[in-house]
Structures are given as C-alpha cells and as structure tokens.
Amino acid sequence: MGILAAFHPLYTLTGFIVGLLIGQTGMGGGSLVTPILVLLFGVSPAAAVGTDLLYASITKAVGTAVHGANHTVQWPLVARLAAGSVPATALTLLAIAHFDLNSRAASGVITTVLGVMLLMTAAALLFRRRLLELGGDRLANVSVRQTGLLTVAIGAMLGLLVTISSVGAGAIGVTALLLLYPKLPMARIVGSDIAHAVPLTLVAGLGHWMLGSVNLPILVSLLIGSIPGIVLGSLFAVRVPDTVLRPVMAATLAVVGGTLVF
C-alpha cells in the first residue's frame, strides 16, 4: 500500500526514457538516473545513489542473461573484477555506515564525488580512442599475471567509486578493460563489464538499503518504466551512430557533472 501511495508517474516516465536510451545504445543508465533524481526530483544524494544501485543491479542482470546466452561474457575476467570490487564495496559500506548519509556534509561529499565521476565518464567517452592509443603501448608488454592483478585493482577502484556515487561501472570500466585486454572482442568486453556490474551494484545497493538510503517506491516506479523501455529500445528504435552518440553523451554528462561540482 505504501509503495502504491508514493508512486509517481514521472519516475516511471524517467525509467522509460532511460531504458529506451539503454536499449538503443547500451549506455546511459547509471550516469543518468542518479543526477536526474537529485537535480530534477530533489531526491537526497544518498537515496538517489542507493536507489540507482539496486535499479542497476536488476536491469543489468537482464543484460547479463542476454550476453550469457550469446556467449559474450568472459567469466574469468568477471571473477577477477569481482575479487577486487566486492571486498572494496563491503569496506566502503562499513566506512560510510559511521556517517549520517542524510547530513549536509555527507550530501555535499556524495554530490561532489558524483559530479567528478560524471566528468570522468564524459572524458572516458570523449577521449577513449586517444586513451587507448596512449595506454596501449605502455601495457603492451605487461605479463598475464600483472594483467590479472591490474584487473583486480581496477575492480577495487570501481567498487569504491560506484558505492559512493553509483557511477563508473559503465564507460570507465569498459575503457579500463579495453586497455588491459585489447585482443578481446568488444562484445565480450561489454558483456563482461555488464556481468561484473551485477554483483557490484547488488552488494552496494543492498548495503545502502540496510543503511536506509534506498527509496523503494521510486525504485519500483523506475523499473516499471525501464523494462518496457529497454525492450522497445532494443527492438524498434533506430540506433544512434557512435560518432554522434559519444560527443552528445559526453557533453551532457560534462554539463551535469560540472553543475554538481561547481
């Protein structure tokens, strides 16, 4: 009854639009939902992050099922990422449990980290090719063991940042994997990144739920819209060319990130 009483169709519309974008492009969920909730709906930063984390875990579980059926998930790679991200997520949750996440100071920190992560995501989208050119030579002679350790370290970094801001597992994670595994097909990079996001966002989201920073009615409303949006976006929508999408997405995230930081 409480969920239905607090239900608002604008959240469902937001979920539908974001789901449609994800269905069209495979991008945009984590980087858009949290800032939309904060800037447009006035949701507290902590509640926006926690709600978005559980939203991401459910939507990306569907994506993982599709990629798994298509054999485009590199499960050993997912395991290495999770070996770093899940412990880092748990430690981050233990640390933030000592603070009042709804306080002015905590909200300021979360908002700033969120803004910085959006700017980093924009840079990863806009300058990915250049980053790969610069980093490819440096990582060309890295041993298999070192690559594995770096993968665990990348997972730990993502665990920390995603738990605080809910942003980073997508564009930043894919860019890092492209640097470390240049010979892996792009489909497997994307599939592995999506699969890794499921345990990461699930653990982080459940932790935020236990801390009281998840808005269940908003979560349900978003999912009611996003599920048909993803389906329609995947089946019927015209895909936007990557050369157009990257600058538009990067500019949008840069503006939103700058607004949150400054």
The predicted-structure confidence for 193-227, as pLDDT tens digits, reads as follows 888 989 999 999 999 999 999 999 999 999 998 88
The closest alpha carbon to 91, from 199, 204, 197, belongs to 204
The mean-pLDDT minimum among 6-10, 84-88, 186-190, 221-225 falls in 6-10
The closest alpha carbon to 121, from 208, 240, 34, 218, belongs to 34
Q: Residue 170: which domain range? A: 2-261
**pLDDT value of position 250:** 80
Query: Averaging pLDDT over each range in 39-43, 68-72, 91-95, 224-228, which range is the top one?
Result: 91-95
**pLDDT value of position 65:** 84
Distance of CA 181 to the CA centre of its chain: 20
- From CA 109, how far away is CA 83, in angstroms rounded? 27
pLDDT, tens digit, 9 for 90 and up, residues 5-48: 456 888 999 988 887 777 665 566 668 889 999 998 999 999 99
- State which H helix or E strand residue 183 sits in: none
Number of H helices, E strands in the chain: 12, 0
Query: Which residues have a Cβ under 8 Å from the Cβ of 153 and sit 6 or more positions away?
Result: 84
Residue 244, Cβ density class (10 Å: 0-12 exposed, 13-18 middle, ≥19 buried): exposed
Give mean pLDDT, residues 69-92. 94
Full-model pTM: 0.86
**pLDDT value of position 136:** 63
Residue 231, Cβ density class (10 Å: 0-12 exposed, 13-18 middle, ≥19 buried): middle
- From CA 236, how far away is CA 25, in angstroms rounded? 12
Q: Which amino acid makes up residue 29?
A: G
> Which tokens is 70 given?
């298509």
pLDDT band, very low/low/confident/very high, at 139 (cuts 50, 70, 90): low
Higher per-residue pLDDT: 234 or 161: 161
Q: Which amino acid makes up residue 191?
A: G
Question: 168 and 29 in contact (C-beta within 8 Å)?
Answer: no
**pLDDT value of position 1:** 44
In the chain, how many domains are there? 1
